[in-house]
Structure formats: C-alpha cells, structure tokens
Structure 1
C-alpha cells in the first residue's frame, strides 16, 4: 500500500465484494489506479502484486476475526467457518445439495401420525435425513408431535417393513411431496427375507410383468372401452405392484398383509373400470386413491366385532384426539360436556359416540388370577331375558288350566276364544277378523265371546286360575 493513504478493513466481505463484484481485469485497474501515487506510472503495478497484497490482508483478518455478522440480519449472527476449517469438515455429513423439508411435508407427516397414533423411525428419517443442517425445523416438528400425542415406534430390521430403508424412504418422500407413489419403487426390497411363502411367491409372479408406459396405458384404456377383456387384464396385472406398495403402509392393523393386498386389488379393479385417459393424468395416480379407499374401508369394517360405519370411525378418532388433548391440559379425564364444547358438537351426540366406541369383551373371559378357577365374566352378569325353571313350570300349568276350562264349551265358542286371546298361536285377532272367519258380524262375535266367558265363570277350574 502507498504510504500517504490509510485503508481500514471492517470485514472480509467488503474486500471480497471489491474483488468479485467486477471482472478481475477491471478490479486490477481500479485498485491500481487508487493505490499508485501520481508520480508513478500505472504500468508499474502488476496483477500479481495486487493479488498478493489482498490475500495477505484477508489472512491477517481471518486470524484475528473468526466470525462476522451478515448484512441481511442485524439481530441474527451467522457463523461461517474459514477455509482452514472447511477442509476438515466431512462432506458425507454436510451435503451441499440437501433440501430443507417444507411446511406442507411436515404437516402431512404429522397428520399421518395423528391418524394412526404413531410414526416409525424410518418415516421420520426419510423426511429429516440431514438433521444437522436444519435442527430448528426438526425441533418444531417434535413439538407438534408432542402436542398431538404421536408416539415414535421402532420397526425391527429384516422384516417386511424394515428391510430396505432407502426404498422405503423414497416411497415416503414421494407421498409427502404430494405425488402418488411411482410403480417402479414398489417392489425393490429383498424377497429372501420375507417369511411368508405365499407372499414371496405372489411377489415373484407379479414382478415378472413389465410396467406400462404412458402411451401403453392410453392404448389399453381405449381398447378396454371397446370391451377388450385382455386389455383390462393387462392393466390390472401391470399395476399389482402398486397395490403391494400401498398395502405395506397399513401393516400392523387388524388385517394381515395378504388380506390388505386382496382388498387393494378390489380397489384396483374398480379403478381400471373408471379410468378416463382423456383427463391426461397417469393411471397410477388415479388408481392410488381407489386402492387406499378400499383398504381403509376394509379396515374399518373388520377392525371391530360390531361393525361401525366409516364416517363414525373418523368421528371416533377425532373424539379420542380431543380427549387426549384435554387430558394433558386438565390433568384428569374430561367430561362429555367438555369434549362436546371442544368438538363443537351436542352433548347427546358425544355421549352416543362414547357409547359406540367401547370395545367388546367376551363373556367367557376368566375372572381372577387363579388358574384352577373356572369362573368367567358371564357368571356375574344377570340375563334378564332368560326364564327361571319355576316360571317355565308356572306357564305350562297355566296352559293346562286354560285348556281344561274351555274344553266343555262348544267348538264354535272355543275357536272364538282361541282367536280373540291368542291361545293357539299367540296372535290375537280383532272382532272384525273373527267375524270374517265365521261369516258373521262383529256384534255377533262379541255376543258369543261374552256368553262363553260367562259359562267359564261357573266352572270349578276357575278357582285354580285365580291364583294367576
């Protein structure tokens, strides 16, 4: 630097901006013009001297000052490592091309956990695969998990769900980004680790069918509209792997893997029949919704001993979520009135939902810890519909007394009393019905009935009937 002029360097950013802001040639000429005294010619300042001076200045500043403040934020300090530290950083841990999860992706994952009540570690790591780069986003996600009472479960490795993490990550990321899972990703796991032989054979068979291109899908859809059954069969067989990919996400509930695949195939059949190639979207995108609907409805139908409609299952899930939130806030079990106020529903409706959401218990459930004791729950519950032996005997005696009382009446009077009081089949008949049976008027039937009852009062057996 020239002696007559002093330079104050506040931060290395300003120096770098002077160098990188314009081309190298212009920066050299401009700096040389400022730093060269008037008595000295410009040609005497070379590019090498200028570069060496600037580099020396930067080195001295970096030694004394390790961090600096960004101009974009006055309150937030941005710490940047200098070059000597950047060489020591492991590039495998800090990927320059990482993508920060968006708010919509985080919300989808939280919603999925809220509906199921849990999330697997693989599902979380599939979205937050570079935690060290955005810890603040991950902390916000954990807070949402706590607020929604979503648990984190660990999937055992080597099973059907936990075999290949990378493929599972691709499926989860595709779903979180709003696109439908691609068919190519569906069956990229190792079949050797699957314990079920039937599933293994099925996956091998459907893996032999090649996937369809967009043009092939349109061509087969056109043929199907004309009634070509072979085209419909080809569309179904080529997308069976998509069903398996979606069914894996519902494993662990009330249905087995094979049942989930079968229910998903039913949804695939319906999607093939309703697919309209003129809309322009892929068939896999359209079929995914039908497959999911078929699986979720089947789970709702088979998850309980007593079937509950699908819309009521969703209402029950919402009630349980509200109950958990109120339990955390109040520190006790909420009342139906508090739940109704939180849900915005009527109290009677909330009580009805609570009643139908109860789980069934077998009457043969053993009571007590004694293994030798055969006492079951049914032994302590009174059956109000059952009739005791004494009541059965009393009813039979009453029938015998009535038959004895009317046996001395004329056949016509006996038949009229049996029809009027239901003594024969337990069904009572009106005067008009009995009159049509005998071909007389209502009034005549009433007179015959009254006369027959007066006769019975004089019989000796009537004393036995007074006890009833």
Structure 2
C-alpha cells in the first residue's frame, strides 16, 4: 500500500474510532459499561497499554477524578460512580479493539434505545472494516521484516504470523495526525514481536527476555570486530562496545549455542552416532578436565615460544594472544614493529615451522582425535 493511501485509510480509521468513542460516551450506561470493562481488565492483570495507548492516561484520569495521589484503579472507579466527571475520557486514545468489544457488550443488553444501538453497530462495523483493511494492506511490510529475521529454528510462516501481531498493535495505536508515516511507526512493533518470538523459541535453555533482546547488539559487535581484525574480540573489547557487564557478556555467550535434532541423520555413517553425541556435551560451563588441559597447554606454549629468538617470540605472542597479549592482525603487528605486513607473515611462518619441527610430537597430545596440525 503506498504512503498516500495508507495515510488516507489511517485518517478514516481514526475518525471512525473517535466516532465510536463519542457514541459510547454519549450514553451514561454505555460509558459506565466502558469503565466497568476497563476496571475488570485491570483487576485481572491486563496492562493498561492494551486498553488505551495514551502515555498520559494516568495523569488525565486521576486529574479528572480529582485525586491527589495517582491510583488508576481508584480513579476509574470514581469515574464509574460519578458520571459528571467522565469528560476527560474523550481525550484518551482507547484502542479500537477495546472499543469494539465494549460496543458489542452494549448491543447484547436491552437497556439502550433501538436507534442508538443501530448507530453503535454501524460505527463499530465501520471501525472494524477500516481496521481490517489497514492490517491486510500492510501484510507485505510484515513479510519484508520477517525476511530479514530468518532463522533455522522457526519457519518463515511462524515469523510472519508473529509479525502480524506486532502489526495489529501498531494499527491500533497509530495516530495519523502526528506527522509520521505508518510504516515508520509499524516496523519497530513488528520487529519487537518477531524478535521476542525468536528469543523465546530458538534456544532450549532460554535467557530472560530483557537480556536476550540485548544479545543482538553483542553479536553485532562480535561480528564487526571479527570482520575488521580477523579475530574474535575479548571481553574487555566487548564491554567497551556494548552497554553490558562482564557477567552479562559471559552469560549470553555461554547460552547461545547451536541446537541439533536428535533425529538428524549424520552424513558419515562410520561415526556410528559419535558426532551427534559429541554435540550433546554441555558447553555452558567449562569441564574440569578441559580447564586443566587448557592451563597445561598455555604453560607449555609459553615455554616452547620462549625458545625462539625474541622477535619471533614477540610476533607469535601478539598474533595469537599469548602471555596476556591481545590477539592482533598481521597489519597491526607490522605497524607496531615498523616493518611490512609480508615480513611479519614470513617471520610468523618460520617460527611456527620451527616449533612444529622441534615440539610437534609433544603438541599432538593436546589435539582432539579428529584434529590435524
């Protein structure tokens, strides 16, 4: 749907919403039913944002009810008991879905004039028709966003279905008179719905949603750093790039591992299930034996690298992050040593060849069974 048509339908929908709200507030019994339904939803745990989208709802209602201390439930009850104080309700952006629900409840009772019920039904049908038209016309926007969030765990249809939930929220809350295009307003709602679904469903062990939603920033920083330096960033680098603590970074990195189906067929039949079982090993916490091997390997590498000439040892330490060095690219090392990148590469390869020839047999003990060097 082009921008002009979108804006036209949005304006018509807003006028229909205001028309239905005005009809509900025109009758004391209808406005009382609106407040009763609102209070019922609040008492049963429904968030106020699912009823009215105006962020100033509490201050408007409390002020209209002449309450000094803001308490939305008491204020709604006060308006329910005092029909003369309900004028403030007209300034609130009640969601179309809620207004349609209240109008249906009004029509199900026999306490209203027939001509009023006819007007109410017509207004509700107009609002519902425009609401559905706005949703249907922007399904392609949902597909566009869902296509950018493809995952191996969730199907494209699942992403679109959840994105439509975000689209409906955007349609209900959109105010065409604030000067924003609908697509600009709707995309964040669609992204939020899809990303929350991915967070909830993609991993077997789930992070808290608030932390998991911030994981994308961490992975983006890791990806960008790797593309620039050809090395994964350290914890300190990630702390400087993301607004996350060290514990949060470690938690996110430890929980986000690939998941595999137990029914998956292995390509190599000779493994007899060994590869699949290896994938099932927990990786959230380091195994004691692995930690011992890593420490032993670190100490041994320090010893063997120390046998090299100073320049070769320094280059290997900087290149591979040994002896508390940060892993560096060939170009970064070349800039620091004021030599060419090619010269650093030659020295590195010569040093590695020496270590392989002198200590290769001992280093083989640290390799996994299927690894090579």
Per the TM superposition, whether the score is higher than 0.5 is no
TM-score for the superposition, normalised by structure 2: 0.37
TM-score for the superposition, normalised by structure 1: 0.31
Q: Which protein, 1 or 2, shows the higher relative CO under an 8 Å CA cutoff with sep ≥ 6? A: 2
Structure richer in helix, relative to its length: 2
Give the greater-gyration-radius structure (CA). 1
